[in-house]
Structure 1
Amino acid sequence: MDAFSLKSKVILITGASSGIGRSCSVECSKRGADLILMGRNHDELMKTASMLDPESKTEFIAADITQSENLEAMIADKVTALGKISGFIHCAGIEKTLPLKKHSSTLYRDIFEVNVIAGFEIAKILSLKKYKDATSSFVFISSVAGMVGEPGKASYSASKGAVISGARSLAMELCRNDIRVNSISPAMVKTPILEKMFENIGEDASAEIIRKHPLGIGNPEDVANACIFLLSDASRWVTGTNLVIDGGYSAQ
């Protein structure tokens, strides 16, 4: 028996329309999971769907996850279609790099609503007996920015630190419901957002960022594979941990 298999598991993934969320969707489907994919952009969700294993059953929720009053009804509808949820990956996130003098209360609220609150609200829904499988695993995508200070990232770093600490508390509370909760902290990963950033900051600054990653910049699949481990039975004795996937960035 393959302990890393996700066959017969239904996984809900936020931020599934791009980047790490898209990669998690593709890799989970390869491992046999059925999927509920959430994202704001319907067309991009369909693009993700075109990359999935054809044997995976898939449902879609094209919506703003910060509108929490509608979340439960939307999730309930998809659970009826696919079955109870055995895994959840919160990939949706906002990243802003701005000097402190340009931070505002609105910026803090916007970032926390997506990066922290929406994920915990979905976890609250999925922890209910009527929606969860007998055993479940929740994975929150945090960031090394939640562990290591970086200029211009006060709001983003604060939100990702909240994800790490909040996930630990959820792990302690939800273990009685047979739910494991963990977070993953990636460093820089090759996504369209990173490519655009490199274009804007120039060759020298880009080379310096790459230099800070002893194993080089990561691929989205590197994070997705860590998610598969935490969602699968291979990690059945793992909860309340923060798995760092950063090519050595935070070891320096």
Structure 2
Amino acid sequence: MSNNLLKGKRGIIFGALNEKSIAWKVAERAVEEGAKITLSNTPVAVRMGAVKALANKLNCEVVSADATNVADLENVFRKSIDVLGGKIDFILHAIGMSPNVRRRKTYDDLDYNMLDKTLDISAISFHKMIQSAKKLDAINKNGSIIALSYVAAQRTFYGYNDMADAKALLESIARSFGYIYGRESSVRINTISQSPTITTAGEGVKGMDKLYDFANRMSPLGNASAEECADYCIVMFSDLTRKVTMQNLFHDGGFSNVGMSLRAMATYERGLDEYRDENGKIIYG
């Protein structure tokens, strides 16, 4: 149901790949709430993914860009302003990828060239995006910029690997740039720390299915879905949150504040007698 929360606003959604993507859901909800948008992803993702189908559905344009390339980002802003008929009101950064995770490299055996790529793609691209927009004066006063994060920025989660470092940097960028952009142009910058979500990117994390189940058992409200995350993003893009900036906002059903839930404790107790090591060998405790 539409409440016209974004009526008359213009936005750019980075990172929509397919129907599993949170960015895909955000794009759909933004248009439903009255916004005009452009979509952006890498040329390969646009060519191999379903982004064009989403663009056709929403009657919007796709502007291909490598988010680690400043010239590409500047082109996205210039073309979006031209296509949408004015400066931008909101941006979603839903970009993350770790070559180390994809190659199953453990945290104590990282390839540092791949670590550089992880940080550039998943976090520094956020800085490049904001800096490009600011230099071009591409965002309206009271605009809103959101990036998607995860609680692994604060806590250790087995298998999340160097993406945890990237998310920590991402949140730091939101605070540092949020102060500057807020003071000078009233543009607010926040991160949303989402529940484990079964997306194409998320499926690359080792043990994602188990992590998803664990978080769901721990959270009093259960895991937040991609659709629910989209709803939260819409509120953050709207004028209802004009004074919210430099925050990491947990959207995880309460997981981030729970020590041990009743369901998780019961599961833990049942598994005390025996468990398996990483090679599948049963170990009795």
The alignment's TM-score, normalised by the length of structure 1, stands at 0.86
Query: Do residues 102 (structure 1) and 103 (structure 2) align?
Result: no
CA deviations on 1:17-47 (whole Å, 9 max, x unpaired) are: 2311111111111111111111122242112
Aligned length: 245
Secondary structure of 1:71's match?
A: helix
Secondary structure of 1:113's match?
A: helix
Amino acid in structure 1 at the alignment position of 2:223: I
Secondary structure of 1:240's match?
A: coil
- The unaligned stretches of length 5 or more in structure 1 are none
Q: In the alignment, which residue of structure 2 is the partner of 1:150?
A: 157
In structure 1, C-alpha distance between the alignment counterparts of 2:180 and 2:213, rounded to whole Å: 43
Query: Do residues 242 (structure 1) and 243 (structure 2) align?
Result: no
**C-alpha contact 2:70 2:132 (8 A) present in aligned 1:** no
Q: 1:61 aligns with which of 60, 63, 68?
A: 63
Structure 1 residue 245 displacement after superposition: 0.6
Secondary structure of 2:50's match?
A: helix
Structure 1 residue 192 displacement after superposition: 4.2
CA deviations on 1:178-236 (whole Å, 9 max, x unpaired) are: 21111111121133455x569x8598776445434443333111111111111100001
**C-alpha contact 1:4 1:228 (8 A) present in aligned 2:** no
| Aligned CA distance change for structure 1 residues 246 and 209 (closer, same or farther; 3 Å) | closer
Q: In the alignment, which residue of structure 2 is the partner of 1:233?
A: 239
In structure 1, C-alpha distance between the alignment counterparts of 2:204 and 2:136, rounded to whole Å: 43
Q: In the alignment, which residue of structure 2 is the partner of 1:115?
A: 122
Q: In the alignment, which residue of structure 2 is the partner of 1:8?
A: 8
Structure 1 residue 239 displacement after superposition: 1.0
- The unaligned stretches of length 5 or more in structure 2 are 259-285
Larger radius of gyration: 2
| Aligned CA distance change for structure 1 residues 205 and 35 (closer, same or farther; 3 Å) | closer
**Residues 120-129 or 237-246, more deviating:** 120-129
In structure 1, C-alpha distance between the alignment counterparts of 2:33 and 2:211, rounded to whole Å: 38
Please, what is the CA RMSD of the aligned residues? 2.6
In structure 2, C-alpha distance between the alignment counterparts of 1:204 and 1:58, rounded to whole Å: 37
Structure 1 residue 4 displacement after superposition: 6.5
**C-alpha contact 2:40 2:76 (8 A) present in aligned 1:** no
Query: Do residues 85 (structure 1) and 82 (structure 2) align?
Result: no
Secondary structure of 2:190's match?
A: strand
Amino acid in structure 2 at the alignment position of 1:94: M
Query: Do residues 38 (structure 1) and 45 (structure 2) align?
Result: no
| Aligned CA distance change for structure 1 residues 207 and 84 (closer, same or farther; 3 Å) | closer
| Aligned CA distance change for structure 1 residues 75 and 218 (closer, same or farther; 3 Å) | same
**Residues 203-212 or 91-100, more deviating:** 203-212
**Residues 233-242 or 13-22, more deviating:** 13-22
Q: In the alignment, which residue of structure 1 is the partner of 2:190?
A: 182
**Residues 85-94 or 67-76, more deviating:** 67-76
